[in-house]
Amino acid sequence: MPVVPSQPTAVAAHPIDVHTLVRRRLTERHAWLYPVAVRLHQVKRRLSWLTSDARWATRAEGNPELPVRIKKHGSLLLRELSPDEMTLQHNKVVNLRLASARTDGVVIRPGETFSFNKVVGNCTRRKGYVEGMRLSNGDATSGVGGGICQLANLLHWMFLHSPLTVIERSEHSFDPFPDKNRVLPWGVGCSIVWNYVDLVVRNDTDITFALHTWLDDKHLRGELRADRPVEHSYKVEARGEEFLRLRHQGVDRVWRRNEIWRSVVDRRTGVTVGEELVKRNCAVVKYPPPEHLVVDLDQDGRPLQRPAAQRTTTPRSTTREGDLSTVTS
């Protein structure tokens, strides 16, 4: 991702494009088309792999320990959900243990490309994967291999703190859970679907990188290491966080929007030398949002005026109770 000069956070233009918010994908309007679309995308991906001249990163023999740690991260394995959903949560741990064993020890040499789907492969019952929670086509459902997106989220977060180039990453089309105990900013996660929705990064540097991923009792853990120091460090944060509510076809729907920005810092001087817009996110919210943070829109997409007592400064992130949380790297 190219570095651009430092600039102020972009201010959202008004009125909001209502048609963009309410537009639903064809597969959401006609669910029977979804498996057909998936199959077509899988065939397209397979053909692209067969014809690609990319050099793909793979696991190295002996799980080499490179001397410089670029970034480490850990995420909780279990969230506080309903009893029925907790079964899927525990199954997710099984899936993450299998998938993280595949990414552990992967080396990304200069000129090589890392593909999550190529490294982890298809998560099938035959390989030991079980039913976990999957976020697909606007719904949270159970499916074999569900939950491995948490591993992709962890890897993407570490990649954002390195000079590796993210060339493919897809986010979820909806926000399923409130921010209680959230560690990363909303909007930096990844969607993974075999074998067409992928996380792909390329090493455009002359430095060799290695991944280490594992599970302990409560966390999924990861480290990105290198064979020598890198020139910059990085700070990643969410800006312009907002919830938008609009009545459409007699139903109130809420969307969440933000921007993910990355600041580039010179390691020698500690001076920020640039920043870049990583991603603009917009997703349907599937939980009751904190009311005092919601901006109501009229049919033309213009914010409705609220009484002064209800106005508040827009936060970067929120918890289930609506408390402010400044979540950064």
Q: Per-residue pLDDT tens, the chain, 329 aa: give them.
A: 444 444 434 444 446 777 777 777 777 777 788 888 889 999 999 999 999 999 999 999 877 789 999 999 999 998 776 676 788 889 999 999 999 999 999 999 999 999 999 999 999 999 999 999 887 666 778 899 999 999 999 999 999 999 999 999 988 878 988 887 788 899 999 999 999 899 999 999 999 999 999 999 999 999 999 999 999 999 999 999 999 999 877 889 999 999 999 999 999 999 999 999 999 999 999 999 988 889 999 888 889 876 544 544 444 443 333 333 344 45
The two tokens of residue 241 are: 């966080």
Q: Is the dihedral of CA 242, 245, 248, 253 positive or negative?
A: positive
**How far apart are the C-alpha atoms of 185 and 175, rounded to whole Å?**
12
CB atoms within 10 A of CB 143: 17
Residues 6+ apart with CB under 8 A from 176: 135, 140, 286, 287
Contact indicator for 178, 81 with CB cutoff of 8 Å: no
Please name the helix (run of DSSP H) or strand (run of DSSP E) that holds residue 27, with its range, or none.
helix 26-29
Give the max Cα distance, the chain.
64
Q: Are 252 and 245 in contact (CB under 8 A)?
A: yes
Asked if 163 and 148 count as a contact pair (C-beta separation under 8 A), the reply is: no
Q: What are phi and psi of 269, to 5 degrees?
A: -105, -20
Residue 126: Cβ within 10 Å count: 7
* Torsion-angle region of 322 (φ positive above 0: left; ψ -120 to 50: alpha; else: beta): left
Look up the pTM and report it. 0.86
The counts of H helices and E strands in the chain are 6, 16
Tokens of 127: 């390989």
Contact of 152 with 241, CB cutoff 8 Å: no
Strands (E), the chain: 55-56, 58-59, 68-76, 106-108, 112-115, 131-136, 139-144, 165-168, 174-175, 200-202, 209-215, 219-226, 232-248, 251-266, 272-285, 294-296
| 281 vs 279: CA distance, rounded Å | 6
CA distance 327 to 184: 6
Residues facing 237 on adjacent strands: 261, 328
Report the alpha-carbon distance of residue 2 to residue 14 in Å, rounded: 28
